[in-house]
């Protein structure tokens, strides 16, 4: 009887070892799709596209064809220099500014209030005492929340903290949040001892008198958040949350209170773009920035610039379709793009809401199904 060779026996053992295969935890497609909100997915996709376009072409907008540019951008103005050109902080204030309080010198007021508290002898309960509080006109929702065993926090207000003003907070995006956060979206604020909802503005954190409006909360740079809210004296920590569709609160940014200053100017920039049509030594015919003669004449005083560093201005319109003759400080290249910067001051909306719904507890919603072993022959 012939004996099996060692090579044949080892091949049979390998075949036997590969006959069975175990499939671990898996997610069934039908159960997974039940928890997917298609409308929310489409909205999130659109926000991702807008954020990407903003990164590639910051502040660039298309000139509308159905509305004249001089009407669409009538609230905007041109600036010789964004850093040094003057801008009156009291100019064209909204009606909501009549409802807020402004300090003549916020820093000195804060120092004076804290000094008075330190020097004032206040009689009351000492640390560690058990006391009984009698509070009138308490909302029913607060009583029900307290009966469920939730903690009750009581605090006293400093002078002026019952008044409304414009709060500016420096925040940095939390690394655990990657979804795009657009300006003027409703967020949940934890500022000091207060908690409220509001739709903020985002702006650059600089030492200048004008601060450029940011359309999205960036991940790598600290920004300033501006909202209407009750006055709070720093130091005060700030947490920004966003309520998801399932009721959970997601932490999106952390920071601190910067100032209470309604005069801090947030300037929104839009960039109109055109393309060189005919190029001469220091002249060029530019098209597609405007689409009628009147718009060219309206924006004639505004300075032009190009992506390759050239500067110029409009000489005169050509024809009636928005073509214009422009002069520059050097010869343009055919692949260059002509730009015009326009600016306007923006203000936050009065969206302050002290009511914040209780967050839903975090749960692991993953669906896992353990399948039996399958023979793979």
Whether residue 181 lies inside any domain: the answer is yes
Domain end, chosen from 237, 263, 289, is at 263
- Which residues constitute the domain of residue 337? 69-80+267-346
Within this chain, do residues 239 and 213 fall inside the same structural domain, yes or no? Answer: yes
Whether residue 131 lies inside any domain: the answer is no
Total domain count, the chain: 2
DSSP alpha helix (H) spans, the chain: 6-17, 29-34, 38-56, 69-72, 106-119, 140-147, 293-298
Half-sphere exposure of 373 (CA within 13 A, CB side): 7
d(CA 248, CA 364): 12
pLDDT in tens, the chain (377 residues): 455 555 555 555 555 555 555 544 555 666 666 777 778 888 888 888 888 888 888 889 999 999 999 999 999 999 999 999 999 999 999 999 999 999 999 999 999 999 988 887 667 777 888 888 888 888 887 788 777 777 777 888 999 999 999 999 999 999 988 888 999 999 999 999 999 999 999 999 999 999 999 999 988 899 999 999 999 999 999 999 998 877 789 999 999 999 999 999 999 999 999 999 999 989 999 999 999 999 999 999 999 999 999 999 999 999 999 999 999 999 999 899 999 999 999 999 999 999 888 777 765 544 444 444 444 44
- Residue 244: what pLDDT? 84
Within this chain, do residues 238 and 292 fall inside the same structural domain, yes or no? Answer: no
Domain end, chosen from 263, 293, 325, is at 263
C-alpha distances in angstroms, 58 versus 30, 53, 55? 41, 7, 6
Beta bridge partner(s), residue 275: 287
pLDDT tens per residue, range 308-360? 999 999 999 999 999 999 999 999 998 999 999 999 999 999 999 998 887 77
Task: Tell me which H or E stretch contains 304.
Answer: strand 304-306
Whether residue 316 lies inside any domain: the answer is yes
Whether residue 289 lies inside any domain: the answer is yes
Question: Minimal CA–CA distance to 290: which of 314, 321, 334, 312?
Answer: 321
- Residue 300: what pLDDT? 95
d(CA 10, CA 27): 37
Does the reported pTM lie above 0.85?
A: no
Within this chain, do residues 188 and 233 fall inside the same structural domain, yes or no? Answer: yes
Which residues, 6 or more positions from 243, have their beta carbon under 8 angstroms from its beta carbon?
Answer: 186, 188, 249, 250, 357, 359
Which residues, 6 or more positions from 200, have their beta carbon under 8 angstroms from its beta carbon?
Answer: 183, 184, 187, 225, 226, 227, 348
Question: Minimal CA–CA distance to 312: which of 296, 297, 295, 325?
Answer: 325
Structure tokens at 256: 């601190």
d(CA 349, CA 355): 17
Within this chain, do residues 183 and 214 fall inside the same structural domain, yes or no? Answer: yes
Within this chain, do residues 193 and 240 fall inside the same structural domain, yes or no? Answer: yes
CATH number, domain with residue 273: 2.40.10.190
Handedness of CA 289, 291, 297, 298 (dihedral sign): negative
d(CA 314, CA 19): 78
CATH number, domain with residue 236: 2.40.30.10
d(CA 180, CA 216): 7
Whether residue 175 lies inside any domain: the answer is yes
- Residue 237: what pLDDT? 96
d(CA 117, CA 50): 49
Within this chain, do residues 290 and 335 fall inside the same structural domain, yes or no? Answer: yes
pLDDT tens per residue, range 48-59? 888 888 888 888
Whether residue 215 lies inside any domain: the answer is yes
Within this chain, do residues 204 and 278 fall inside the same structural domain, yes or no? Answer: no
Within this chain, do residues 206 and 286 fall inside the same structural domain, yes or no? Answer: no
Within this chain, do residues 238 and 294 fall inside the same structural domain, yes or no? Answer: no
Within this chain, do residues 295 and 229 fall inside the same structural domain, yes or no? Answer: no
Question: Minimal CA–CA distance to 243: which of 145, 359, 354?
Answer: 359
As a whole number of Å, the CA-based R_g of the chain is 31
């Amino acid at each position: 009887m012939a004996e099996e060779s060692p090579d044949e026996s080892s091949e049979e053992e390998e075949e036997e070892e590969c006959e069975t295969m175990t499939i671990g935890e898996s997610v069934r497609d039908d159960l997974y799709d039940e928890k997917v909100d298609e409308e929310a997915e489409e909205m999130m996709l659109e926000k991702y596209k807008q954020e990407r376009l903003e990164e590639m072409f910051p502040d660039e907008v298309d000139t509308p064809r159905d509305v004249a540019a001089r009407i669409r951008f009538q609230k905007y103005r041109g600036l010789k220099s964004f850093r040094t050109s003057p801008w009156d902080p009291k100019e064209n204030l909204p009606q909501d500014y009549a409802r807020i309080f402004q300090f003549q010198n916020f820093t000195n007021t804060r120092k004076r209030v804290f000094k008075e508290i330190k020097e004032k002898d206040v009689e009351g309960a000492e640390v560690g005492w058990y006391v009984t509080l009698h509070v009138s006109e308490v909302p029913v929702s607060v009583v029900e929340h307290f009966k469920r065993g939730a903690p009750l926090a009581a605090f006293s207000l400093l002078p002026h903290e019952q008044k409304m003003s414009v709060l500016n907070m420096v925040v940095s995006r939390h690394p655990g949040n990657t979804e795009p956060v657009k300006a003027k979206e409703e967020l949940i604020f934890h500022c000091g001892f207060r908690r409220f909802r509001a739709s903020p503005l985002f702006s650059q954190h600089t030492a200048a008198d004008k601060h450029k409006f940011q359309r999205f909360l960036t991940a790598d740079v600290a920004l300033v958040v501006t909202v209407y809210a009750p006055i709070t004296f720093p130091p005060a920590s700030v947490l920004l949350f966003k309520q998801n569709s399932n009721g959970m609160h997601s932490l999106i940014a952390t920071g601190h209170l910067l100032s209470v200053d309604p005069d801090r100017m947030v300037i929104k920039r839009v960039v109109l773009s055109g393309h060189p049509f005919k190029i001469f030594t220091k002249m060029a015919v530019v098209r597609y920035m405007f689409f009628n003669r009147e718009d060219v004449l309206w924006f004639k005083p505004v300075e032009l610039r190009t992506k390759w560093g050239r500067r110029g201005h409009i000489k005169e319109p050509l024809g009636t379709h928005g073509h214009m003759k422009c002069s520059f400080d050097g010869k343009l290249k055919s692949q260059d793009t002509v730009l015009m910067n326009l600016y306007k001051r923006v203000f936050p909306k009065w969206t302050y809401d002290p009511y914040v719904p209780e967050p839903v507890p975090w749960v692991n919603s993953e669906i896992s199904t353990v399948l039996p072993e399958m023979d793979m022959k």
